[in-house]
Amino acid sequence: MLLLVLMKEERFFYVPNATDVDRLPQEEAAHATRVLRLKEGDSIFLIDGEGGIHQAVVTIATNKQCQYKITNTTTLPQSENRIHIAIAPTKMMERMEWMAEKATEIGIDEISFLEGQFSERRKMRVDRIEKTVVSAMKQSRKAWMPAINDMIPVKQFIDTPREGRKFICHCHEEIPRTSLQQKLEEVQSSMFNVQCSTANGQSFTVLIGPEGDFSIEEVEYALKHGYESVSLGDFRLRTETAALVALMTIRLKVKG
């Protein structure tokens, strides 16, 4: 993997199904040949988003296309624990792009967008988030592309069955909440595991509300459907920061 670290970020390309095709997608090809001016014989790396990082050599480079031949493939395992953050997007789109970038760096498996009762943003350019995620994935050398889902209403998201532990973060003081950290420690403690880790291979879903929070009705709906009521500590956090804090808390408290 040392070579991977040494390779410049710009030489990484995202190519879904990299082994089934023999050329870079149009946009990546334009960047490779026109901006980076790659030529036949140059080394590149292909990330397929499904665990594969492929070393390849450019075989044909024209203004319009960039063909390659894979010379070596490294397959990286998916993280043992699966973390899915479902968030009601902020008014400012760039805060969501920032969140997606950072979440990808830190390690996330799935991001969904929610339309809540108090949502300020009811339309979402998921393609922009995907672009950010692809760029962060290349930058941080991730082999797995997080799944990015279209926006759906909160209740529809809750209605969909999901494995593992499910949390809803909110600020309603009239509904009892436990800190997410404490919730994760409870499991740990009950397992008498002093290394502060819970079992591997778990799934976690975390709901993060809009700037105006979830409505009480939405929180109660979630609680009826198996979600646990949590806070993120004494911090008063912006929506996008809350998502990151929740993600980091799970990553740090649960090994794998």
Which positions lie near a second copy, rule CB under 8 A?
2, 5, 98, 102, 105-107, 139-141, 171, 173, 181, 185, 188-189, 194-196, 235-238, 241, 244-245, 248-249, 252-253
Minimum distance from residue 223 beta carbon to a second copy (Å): 22
Considering the complex, state which of residue 28 and residue 101 has its C-beta at the smaller distance from a second copy.
Answer: 101
Considering the complex, state which of residue 181 and residue 229 has its C-beta at the smaller distance from a second copy.
Answer: 181
Q: Which of 208, 224, 199 is nearest to 116 (CA)?
A: 208
Minimum distance from residue 142 beta carbon to a second copy (Å): 8
Minimum distance from residue 14 beta carbon to a second copy (Å): 16
Cβ atoms of 7 and 53 within 8 Å: the answer is no
Considering the complex, state which of residue 98 and residue 221 has its C-beta at the smaller distance from a second copy.
Answer: 98
Minimum distance from residue 236 beta carbon to a second copy (Å): 5
Measured CA to CA, the distance from residue 192 to residue 189 in angstroms comes to: 5
Considering the complex, state which of residue 95 and residue 155 has its C-beta at the smaller distance from a second copy.
Answer: 95
Task: Determine the Cα angle at 232 with ends 231 and 236, to 5°.
Answer: 100
Considering the complex, state which of residue 42 and residue 211 has its C-beta at the smaller distance from a second copy.
Answer: 211
Measured CA to CA, the distance from residue 138 to residue 104 in angstroms comes to: 10
Minimum distance from residue 210 beta carbon to a second copy (Å): 15
Where are the extended beta strands (E) located within the chain?
12-14, 43-47, 52-61, 66-75, 82-87, 110-115, 147-153, 165-169, 178-179, 203-208, 228-231
Minimum distance from residue 67 beta carbon to a second copy (Å): 29
Considering the complex, state which of residue 32 and residue 245 has its C-beta at the smaller distance from a second copy.
Answer: 245
